[in-house]
Amino acid sequence: QQPVQSPQAVILREGEDAVINCSSSKALYSVHWYRQKHGEAPVFLMILLKGGEQKGHDKISASFNEKKQQSSLYLTASQLSYSGTYFCGTEGKGNQFYFGTGTSLTVIP
Amino acid sequence: GAVVSQHPSRVICKSGTSVKIECRSLDFQATTMFWYRQFPKKSLMLMATSNEGSKATYEQGVEKDKFLINHASLTLSTLTVTSAHPEDSSFYICSASWFRAAANYGYTFGSGTRLTVV
């Protein structure tokens, strides 16, 4: 049930763009995106519910494909504050919430 | 809004003792809370879903007698690690869902508890 993310890790220079993918073998009811800084709790970024949906704020956006089996998170003109581990997440049948495998993002000056 | 408080943030205990971790929703009522465990550089693994007034639902492979969950009120869920062993050392995080609209909901997390069993 755990979505798989790729890449596992990425290093960017400030100002560069990145894409993080989240895939599932089955259609997802929803996909959430979170960012976690080391030693801290995950912070909610956004949720997508509909196939084909795109959503974003500032320079972070996400899409959910038509089959609802794949989502991508787009970070444009990355800033140092974007560093952290990004997780997608999805809801299970019994109201559970499962996280993806995670992607470590490091932005360097 | 939707703030979750988790205590303690760090705890060191001796092997064989029990440790209780509290998770409180401060400004909303949480009928459902979730408990996760996270190992270094790994994802958060769902341990159990805590339902107010009823028994928790544990994920496969999680020992319910080892990790006791109580959700006695709409604002408090507790996780007790019983007879702790060094392999129970980990980062434990609770969360609760918040809801604003049909397409606007998510999960808010406590700040986590770093448990070290010596």
- Kindly state the average pLDDT of the residues A4-13: 97
The pLDDT tens digits of the residues spanning A14-52 come to 999 999 999 998 888 899 999 999 889 899 899 998 888
Mean pLDDT across chain A, nearest whole number? 92
The per-residue pLDDT for B31 is 81
Give the nearest partner residue to A47 out of B32, B49, B105, using CB atoms.
B105
Interface test with B, best of A98, A101, A103, A106 (most B CBs within 10 A): A98
**A105 vs B54, residue with greater confidence:** A105
Residues 9-68 of B with CB under 8 A from A: 32, 34, 36, 41-46, 49, 57, 59
Instruction: Check pLDDT > 80 for residue B102.
Output: no
Q: Do B109 and A102 touch (CB under 8 A)?
A: no
Nearest to A19 by CA among A67, A69, A61, A66: A61
| Long-range CB contact pairs, A14-19, < 8 A, 24+ | A14/A78, A14/A79, A14/A80, A14/A107, A14/A108, A14/A109, A15/A77, A15/A78, A16/A77, A16/A78, A17/A74, A17/A75, A17/A76, A17/A77, A17/A78, A18/A74, A18/A75, A18/A78, A18/A105, A19/A72, A19/A73, A19/A74, A19/A75
> Which residue type occupies A40?
E
Is the pLDDT score of A97 beyond 90?
A: no
What pLDDT is attached to residue B87? 95
Residues 6+ apart with CB under 8 A from A103: A5, A6, A7, A8, A9, A10, A20, A85, A86, A87
Confidence band for B1, pLDDT divided at 50, 70 and 90: low
pLDDT, residue B107, reads: 85
DSSP 8-state assignment for residue B58: E
User: By three-state DSSP, how is residue B34 classified?
Assistant: strand
- Quote the minimal CA–CA distance from A107 to chain B in Å: 17
Q: B92 or A55: whose pLDDT is higher?
A: B92
Give tens-digit pLDDT for B39-61: 988 999 999 998 888 889 999 99
Chain centroid to Cα A60, Å, comes to 10
In terms of DSSP H, where are the helices of A36-102?
none
Q: What's residue A50's pLDDT?
A: 86
Provide the residue type at B85 as one letter: H
Q: Is the pLDDT of residue B104 over 80?
A: no
Residues of A in contact with B35 (CB under 8 A): none
